[in-house]
Amino acid sequence: MSELRADRPAERLYNGLIKENPTFVLMLGMCPTLAVTTSAVNGLGMGLTTTVVLMMSNLLISMLRKVIPNRVRIPAFIVIIATFVTVVQLLLEAYLPVLNRSLGMYIPLIVVNCIILGRAESYAYSHGMIASFFDGLGMGLGFSVALTCIGVVRELLGAGKLFGYAVLPATFTPISIFGLAPGAFFVLAGLTALQNALRDRKATDKNKAARPAAGCVRDCAACGIEGCQAHGKFYDMEDK
């Protein structure tokens, strides 16, 4: 994705969603990831709530970055983040009481979500307003996608449902442990292992591409084999 220019909105969105996905790549903000993903709707709700807080706090911190003295920046960030969390919590209480009840204590705990403080410190404090806003949006969406993925797996295995609708046939016996606490650990372990396996496969594919053709004598200067992918790799016999 080299055609995307750095710090442009599109590049920030791509960065947050895929390249530096906060959950699967950076492994940040694990507490809400495991606690509220009992269903896909809860995961999505938590993700979007965090996205709103992240966008607003990034925007405000970026606006105030020349006013906040360097030495008290962390307390200042925390106050800004906590203010937005309180605002969002009051709004949820008023307009989405069902979601508010199912997320419960984990809404005020967004304050200590390391993703938000991490983005404030590593991006918003040193970049412009628009870039910071889209950085928050990208990171937040990446977090939402990850939470929804975990929620989908847990809801499907634990209750046989998807977003509240029964999708599996009635003969399927729900494995209720996936809806309980241990299931959260197992699903995340499985997804991380899957990601590791995919990354390893990618890495070995690259190695394969550079493997010399059959009949290689490990001396490219004296070799006449057509189409050898490792051409130019071996120049003396010691290089084994």
Partner 1 sequence: MDNVKGLFVILIGSSLVNNVVLSQFLGLCPFLGVSKKIKTAAGMGTAVIFVITLASGVAGVIYEFVLKRFGLEYLQTIVFILVIAALVQFVEMFLRKCMHSLYEALGVYLPLITTNCAVLGVALTNVQKQYGVLTGMLNGFATAVGFTISIVILAGLREKMEYNDIPKSFRGMPSVLLAAGLMAIAFCGFSGLL
Provide the binding-site residues for partner 1, judged by CB under 8 A.
Answer: 27, 30-32, 34-35, 74-75, 78-79, 82-83, 85-86, 89-90, 105, 108-109, 111-114, 117, 177, 180-186, 188-190, 192-194, 196-197, 200
Residues belonging to the chain: 240
By beta-carbon proximity to partner 1, the closer residue of 90 and 213 is 90
By beta-carbon proximity to partner 1, the closer residue of 123 and 178 is 178
Distance, CA of 174 to chain centre? 28
Give the nearest distance from C-beta 192 to partner 1 in angstroms: 5
Give the nearest distance from C-beta 27 to partner 1 in angstroms: 7
The residues near 37 (Cβ < 8 Å, ≥ 6 apart) are: 43, 46, 147, 150, 151, 154, 184, 187
Give the nearest distance from C-beta 82 to partner 1 in angstroms: 4
Give the nearest distance from C-beta 182 to partner 1 in angstroms: 4
- Asked whether 44 and 144 are in contact (CB, 8 A), the reply is yes
Measure the CA dihedral 205/206/208/213, to 10°. 140
Q: Tokens for 199?
A: 């990354």
Give the nearest distance from C-beta 122 to partner 1 in angstroms: 15
By beta-carbon proximity to partner 1, the closer residue of 69 and 182 is 182
Residue from 21, 46, 20 nearest 33 by CA? 46
By beta-carbon proximity to partner 1, the closer residue of 15 and 37 is 37
By beta-carbon proximity to partner 1, the closer residue of 30 and 166 is 30
DSSP H helices in 96-234: 97-103, 114-122, 129-159, 181-209
Residue from 17, 3, 6, 23 nearest 191 by CA? 23
By beta-carbon proximity to partner 1, the closer residue of 14 and 186 is 186
Give the nearest distance from C-beta 83 to partner 1 in angstroms: 6
